[in-house]
Amino acid sequence: MEAPAGGVDDMTKLSYLHEPGVLQNLKIRYELNEIYTYTGNILIAINPFQRLPHLYDAHMMQQYKGAPFGELSPHVFAVADVAYRAMINEGKSNSILVSGESGAGKTETTKMLMRYLAFLGGRVATEGRTVEQQVLESNPVLEAFGNAKTVRNNNSSRFGKFVEIQFDKQGRISGAAIRTYLLERSRVCQISDPERNYHCFYLLCAAPQEEIEKYKLGNPKSFHYLNQSNCYELVGVSDAHDYLATRRAMDIVGISGKEQDAIFRVVAAILHLGNIEFTKGKEIDSSVPKDEKSKFHLNMTAELLMCDPRALEDALCKRVMITPEEVIKRSLDPLGATVSRDGLAKTIYSRLFDWLVDKINVSIGQDPNSKSLIGVLDIYGFESFKANSFEQFCINFTNEKLQQHFNQHVFKMEQEEYTKEAIDWSYIEFVDNQDVLDLIEKKPGGIVALLDEACMFPKSTHETFANKLYQTFKNHKRFIKPKLSRTDFTIAHYAGEVLYQSDQFLDKNKDYVVPEHQDLLSASKCSFVAGLFPLLPEETTKSSKFSSIGSRFKLQLQQLMETLSSTEPHYIRCVKPNNLLKPAIFENVNIMQQLRCGGVLEAIRISCAGYPTRRAFFEFINRFGVLAPEIVEGNHDEKVICGKILEKKGLKGFQIGKTKVFLRAGQMAELDARRAEVLSNAAKTIQHRIRTHNARKQFIALRKATIHVQSLWRGRLACKFFESMKREAGAVKIQKNIRRYQARKGYSKLRVSGLVLQTGLRAMAARKEFRFRKQTKAAIIMQTRWRCHRASSYYKKLKRASIVSQCRWRGRIARRELRKLKMAARETGALKEAKDKLEKHVEELTWRLQLEKRLRTDLEEAKTQEITKLQNSLQSMQIKIDETSALLVKEREAARKAIEEAPPVIKEKQVIVEDTKRIDSLTGEVESLKASLHLEEQRADNSERRYAEAQESIEEKQKKLQETEGKVHQLLESLSRLEEKLTNLESENQVLRQQAVSVSMAPNKFLSGRSKSIVQRSAEGGHIVGDPKPALDMHSHSIIQRDHPEVEEKPQKSLNEKQQENQELLIRCIAQHLGFAGNRPIAACIIYKCLLQWRSFEVERTSVFDRIIQTIGNAIETQDNNDVLAYWLSNASTLLLLLQRTLKASGAAGMAPQRRRSSSATLFGRMTQSFRGTPQGVNLSFVNGGLNGGVDTLRQVEAKYPALLFKQQLTAYVEKIYGMIRDNLKKEISPLLGLCIQAPRISRASLVKGSSRSLANSAAQQALIAHWQGIVKSLGNFLNTLKANHVPPFLVRKVFTQIFSFINVQLFNSLLLRRECCSFSNGEYVKAGLAELEHWCYKATDEYAGSAWDELKHIRQAIGFLVIHQKPKKTLDEISHDLCPVLSIQQLYRISTMYWDDKYGTHSVSSEVISNMRVLMTEDSNNAVSNSFLLDDDSSIPFSVDDISKSMEQIDILDIEPPPLIHENSGFSFLLPRAD
């Protein structure tokens, strides 16, 4: 198989599974920032040396949660998820082994594993911090005391760490523990250049000045344990800053300040202890402190450890030997004293480190009842330096153990795979390294045993130890003796040969605790130091039993392997790409050595020993079906097809399992070569046909061009001949035209001269006539304007005076009438009188209305007659004018004829005299006619003016008539309301009188002030919530005076009880499904009308709002019933709309009672005031509970706090119900989305079998879009539910917009995370599914779908990019601006590198485009947002109350029929629709 442009995510899929192929694949993926790669179930993690935050955010963790291993791109989260699922499903503990050399990123990988496990296992917090946080917060402390600078890493962990994360039965994290292994104790006393000792020593030397003076410290160069190397500081690291950070971390972990002082006191004591030097004493083989400097450090050590200086000196320089007879004290020589000093320092530091680990475990907290755990092992990897000492020997021994465990696990996985597929694997050999382990740890002849034996003899040296090794292992194949050294030895490890220098093996291995040291420190006055060295049992104190680091190392390693063996292991191999610790540098040799040390190549070797290449049946047929198309087109099973293809090509040794084809090494390459040959022959055939087509096409084009050239030349010759003929004809025509022009020019000059003379004479006469007419017209206009002005001024004065007179007279009459009404309204009987008067007034107004109509009719008839007369006279005058004009024309014609027929000159004078007289007489007659015409025109103007004035008066009378009709209508309505109120008053008075009679015999204690206070509070409150009419009656002064005894004797039971009953009935009513009236929810309209009728919005305190909210909350408790949720969403949004358009916040809450007290004292006065106070644009909608008009006519109510709080709670419920409906749909389609991003494999495989099977193909096509049709069906059902419950279209659009955005995010993120989805055929599959969604949006219409289709822009553009052809020809500008303008560079880069064409075998974009994308990403690498290529789902509420109010249509709530439960109740009579 050709390697894809972005490499393969699992290297077992490589056709050539060898070291160069593995290295090339890792390099390609590392250049694409794909730092994780699988090798089977092993994860290889290459340190990028840069931040990649998009790989580890919460969204990425959510993507890998529960995903099958290998389905998404390789990631550390996938390994953690597999371990967690295995622990939950199988109940067995799991472990994750993270290994690699210093600087490979083991610690960071461990942190990511713990983060993901905390994400999966919940967040059980202790004192506000999660277990994961507590473990991570302990890292600075452990790093300070357990990390040091080595040759390859500035912060290398010199101990192994096994973090046990404990889980309860529900899979939640219940505790954790940190187990440390194999601390490098010898580093305390011995370091090599350019390494450093443990960080804590340098941190303490860089502490604040008071700390340094307190412990008598100084520069690190002045201490023996630190100045063995020339490296004292790290580049870019501040020891002073790290000291403060370590102290803060200790505070967080729970180490008190007193304990911290004791810890650093011990660290300072170790530094001073190392500066104690010894020299020979006075006695033989004795030793004493060398000089005053050594004595000073001895005293400081004793002071810091709080022990006796003399006892400390004796413990370092002397030994006590206990015999049956006596106790013998012997002295040590200077060398022995130095060894004793270093042993004490290593013991103290080791005990201190163990105490820190125990303290951290106590702080984190462990779960003793936990039966399952996930362990994360972070341990140093294989080491091979130029100089390798005892530390490298122990580390490599550990890695040999782990490698054996790794090999056994890999072989076990191979065995399980072959067994599952029923493959014969009996001949496969297992590569074991047990011989190396026997060489190191076997008893009694292993290297560790020989080293312990040498350490037990005082006279042994490293030379004798090396000779013993040479003699014992001279024939061992894994042990090699160097030729040029007498003390070195070489061991052939699994990762290569390592040369060890045995110079310091004996010194570094000695680890026994001297009884004198134990006694000295256990007696310390410092409780912390004494706690590090507790008293030992008596049997152990009698004899100093030998102990070595090697034996303890082997014991701890055995415990670690037992722990790992009891768990299911998972492996992560961390790789450091370069020693410069910089990004984008890939050193092949270095990485190959690390892969070899990490056992990756060993795992590949095991895989190659069996069947390294495995392909599923459908993948194999999809790729190699072209080798035998006749077999594929036949009706065979997939397994049979695979076997026949391999047999046809003559391959041997392969095996066919249940679901996969297993090929031996190299067979996949052979199949690829034959496939390439078939494709090459097919390409040659296509090229042959295309070249033939191109040659014929070129010949036809050449022939066509030749014919075209010939026709052009023939046409050119014809044009030339035609041009000569045209020129000759043109010359003749020009001559003719010039001659004609000259003749016409002479004639024109003569004609123009005559016209000029005529024009001048005629102009003179015309100007004279014009001046005369102009003067006459000006005089007429001036006269007209003056007469008009005079008449208009007189009319305006007269009109103004009449209006003023009418207003004053009407005002006088109205005031007189008002006084009469006020006087009459003081008694209840005045209502009947007012009724009679109003009836009389109505009759009078009716009579006046009829009179006005009759007068208007008469006036219109008179005006019509007058207008007719004026029109007749105007027509007669017009006839006379026409006759006069005709006569004048005849006279002029006769005069003209007479002049023409006159005799010669002799009689000419007489004729002129006669004609002049006749002309004068005619002129006079014309002037008289003009004068009469002018008079007639003036009369016509006057008639028109009078007609206009009459028309205006008629319009004014019509307006008055309309106003009178409106007043009559209002008076009739007022009369009917007054009748109703009168009836209510009478019934109320009768009830009060009956109650007064029934209570009149009761004792006087019932006439207490409590009854009065109730009535008084009801009166002063301005309303009673249940029924406003009794409250109005209580304000009536006359009624209070008349019925004062009855009111005072009113019982404790008030109208509030009736109100409570009405509220209870309303709540029971709305708890039922009331349905809809048209598209209006009945429940919302009933609630609104009741609250408005009861004036609940203006009440300071009421419980009706809380009960309504509680009813809604109880109804939506079942979140799965979308029908119920949609019903209440419709009701809640409608009620919220009505409240939004009705309620307004009260400007001053204290003004309301004052306004009520200052209102009119009587019932009739308050009603008339309400009539007068009603705004002009608002109908009287709420008088007597009636609702006239729709939403636009709702009056604004000043709402009190409970009403405003109710509105806010209702808003919250609208948002909550909306979110529940949206989330329910998300849950319903989420399982289908996971199936919609990738085409079903069965269908894809069946499509490969040829186009001849049309029935099978059609069935496969149906199967391809089955999941998409499931989503469309869910969307359709959901839309029908919303429509059935009349949810406002605005909210429906918002729901589907967010749902489509969710589909876009899920599909797009899955596409970017799964390489198998970025294929050409899969793009066609998703494109077909998106077409289904587009068709659904079209059927749903814009009213409900809105802009939902636009939310799929990311996945649409990404799929469009996958299915376009000729991708290598596309430039970056075309891709980013034309094809995919919405996608970022990171997203385009990932799609381009993950794309593979499984249908036509084409390539992705060109390498130049990939390089340009990489440059752009490097420029944006500092921006954390731009690095994230995944989309986030928006779960916010995308609307506000104002948006709902603006978008929803008006609602008419007048004709809503109340439900049967309250229909017959008299307390809800206001809900009944009123007849017009």
Q: Which residue from 297, 287, 276 is spatially nearest to 333, judged by alpha carbons? A: 287
Least confident interval from 200-214, 658-672, 1107-1121, 1263-1277: 658-672
pLDDT at 1249: 43
Q: How far apart are CA 632 and CA 616, in angstroms?
A: 16
Rounded (10°) angle between helices 588-597 and 600-609: 70
Both tokens assigned to 721: 């001949």
Question: What does pLDDT average to over the chain?
Answer: 80
Backbone torsion region of residue 49, taken as left when φ is above 0, otherwise alpha when ψ lies between -120 and 50, otherwise beta:
left
For residue 273, the model assigns a pLDDT of: 93
State mean pLDDT over 1250-1273: 64
In the sheet that holds 660-663, the strands lie side by side as 613-616, 660-663, 655-656
3-state secondary structure of 179: strand
CA dist., res. 763 & res. 34, Å (int)? 102
Q: Say how many C-beta atoms besides its own lie within 10 A of residue 371's C-beta.
A: 12
Which residues 6+ apart lie within 8 Å of 1020 measured at CB?
1153, 1156, 1157
Query: How many Å apart are CA 1123 and CA 1115, to the nearest integer?
Result: 11
Q: Is the pLDDT of residue 1153 over 50?
A: no
Take residue 1241 and report the two structure tokens written for it: 């494999």
Lowest mean pLDDT among 83-87, 572-576, 1192-1196, 1387-1391: 1192-1196
Cα torsion angle, 1283, 1287, 1289, 1295, sign: negative
Kindly state the average pLDDT of the residues 1397-1411. 82
pLDDT value of position 102? 75
Instruction: State the DSSP code for 543.
Output: S
* Sign of the alpha-carbon torsion through 136, 140, 144, 147: positive
- The answer to whether the CB of 1006 falls within 8 A of the CB of 1051 is yes
Instruction: Render pLDDT for 1139-1148 as a digit per residue (tens, 0 to 9).
Output: 888 887 654 3
What CA–CA distance (Å, rounded) separates 592 from 82?
28
| Residue from 295, 300, 150, 339 nearest 218 by CA | 300
Strands 129-130 and 287-289: unpaired
Q: pLDDT digit string (tens) for 702-740?
A: 999 999 999 999 999 999 999 999 999 999 999 999 999
* Residue 869 structure tokens: 């007369």
- The C-alpha angle with vertex 1108 and arms to 1107 and 1114, in degrees rounded to 5, equals 85
Amino acid at 444: P
Contact 79, 96 (CB under 8 A): yes
Are the CB atoms for 1167 and 825 separated by under 8 Å? Answer: no
- Among the residue ranges 346-350, 469-473, 1093-1097, the one predicted with the least confidence is 1093-1097
Among 350, 348, 108, 137, which Cα is nearest to 246's? 137
Mean pLDDT within 201-208: 93
Sign of the C-alpha dihedral computed for residues 1019, 1022, 1023 and 1024 taken in this order: negative
| R_g over Cα of the chain | 55
Using 50, 70 and 90 to split pLDDT, how confident is the model at 1001? very low
Residue 611 pLDDT:
72
Q: Specify the higher pLDDT residue, 1151 or 295.
A: 295
| Prediction pTM value | 0.58
End-to-end CA distance of the chain: 86
In sequence order, the 6+-apart residues with CB closer than 8 A to the CB of 1450 are: 1190, 1191, 1192
pLDDT number for residue 1: 45
Within 10 angstroms of residue 1072's Cβ, the number of other Cβ atoms is 10
CB atoms within 10 A of CB 940: 15
Least reliable range by pLDDT among 185-199, 741-755, 1378-1392, 1428-1442: 1428-1442
DSSP state of 1466: G
Give the containing element (helix H, strand E) for 497: strand 496-501
The pLDDT tens digits for 1170-1223 are 333 333 333 333 333 333 334 344 567 778 888 888 888 989 999 999 999 999
* Model pLDDT for residues 949-996, shown as the tens digit of each residue: 878 878 888 788 888 877 777 777 777 667 666 665 555 555 455 544
Are the CB atoms for 1107 and 1065 separated by under 8 Å?
A: no
Percent of the chain with pLDDT over 90: 23
Q: How far apart are CA 1427 and CA 51, in angstroms?
A: 10
Q: pLDDT band at residue 1032, thresholds of 50, 70 and 90?
A: very low
Classify residue 1459 by its DSSP letter: P
Task: Give me the phi and psi of 1076, to 5 degrees please.
Answer: -135, 150
DSSP states of 1003-1038: -GGGGSHHHHHHHHHHHHTS--SS-HHHHHHHH-HH
Query: How far is Cα 829 from Cα 989, in angstroms, rounded to an integer?
Result: 14
Find, among 563, 608, 594, 576, the residue nearest to 97 by Cα: 563
Lowest mean pLDDT segment, chosen from 27-31, 494-498, 1252-1256, 1461-1465: 1252-1256
1306-1340 tens-digit pLDDT? 898 888 887 778 888 888 889 989 999 999 998 88
> Distances from the Cα of 648 to the Cαs of 618, 625, 638, 854, in angstroms?
18, 12, 15, 116
Q: Cα–Cα distance between 387 and 500 in angstroms, integer?
A: 7
DSSP lists the bridge partners of residue 479 as: 491
The pLDDT score that the predictor gives to residue 738 is 94
Residue 78 pLDDT more than 90?
Answer: yes
What are the pLDDT digits (tens) for 613-651? 777 888 888 888 888 888 887 777 888 888 888 888 888
Closest CA to 332 of 351, 318, 320: 318
DSSP for 1299-1321, written as a single string: HHHHHHHHHHHHHHH-GGGSBHH
φ/ψ of residue 93, rounded to 5: -70, 150
Residues with a known catalytic role: 102-103, 107, 153, 156-157, 381, 383
Instruction: Pick left, alpha or beta for residue 837 (phi over 0 → left; psi -120 to 50 → alpha; otherwise beta).
Output: alpha
Residue 1053 has pLDDT above 50, yes or no: no
Residue 685 in 3-state DSSP? helix
Question: What are the tokens at 168?
Answer: 């309860």
- Name residues whose C-beta falls within 8 Å of residue 430's C-beta, 6 or more positions apart in sequence: 407, 411, 606
**54 CB-contact burial (10 Å; exposed 0-12 / middle 13-18 / buried 19+):** middle
- CA 54 vs. chain centroid, Å, equals 15
10 Å Cβ neighbour count for 12? 17
Asked if residue 340 lies in contact with residue 293, where contact means CB atoms within 8 angstroms, the answer is no
For the record, the structure tokens of 518 come out as 């134990």
Q: 983: part of which helix (H) or strand (E)?
A: helix 908-999
Instruction: Select from 838, 846, 859 the least CA-distant residue to 957.
Output: 859
How many Å apart are CA 1260 and CA 688, to the nearest integer? 35
Structural element, H or E, at residue 338: helix 334-364
Asked whether 36 and 45 are in contact (CB, 8 A), the reply is yes
Work out whether strand 568-575 and strand 94-99 pair parallel, antiparallel, or are unpaired.
parallel
| Higher-confidence position of 236 and 787 | 787
Give the pLDDT confidence score for residue 546 in this predicted structure. 65
Q: β-pairing, 1143-1145 with 1197-1199?
A: parallel
Confidence of residue 912 (pLDDT cuts 50, 70, 90): very low
Among 1070, 1434, 1436, 1433, smallest CA distance to 1218 is for 1436
Q: Say if residue 1003 is preceded by a cis peptide, omega within 30 of 0.
A: no
Sign of the C-alpha dihedral computed for residues 1251, 1256, 1259 and 1263 taken in this order: negative
Helix 1353-1363 to helix 1385-1394 angle (10° resolution) is 40
Report, in this order, helix, strand and coil percent for the chain, each rounded to 5.
65, 10, 25
* β-strand pairing of 147-148 with 156-157: antiparallel
And the tokens for 708? 């075209």
The answer on pLDDT for 1014 being more than 50 is no
Count other Cβ atoms within 10 Å, centred on residue 212.
16
Contact partners, residue 295, CB within 8 Å, separation at least 6: 289
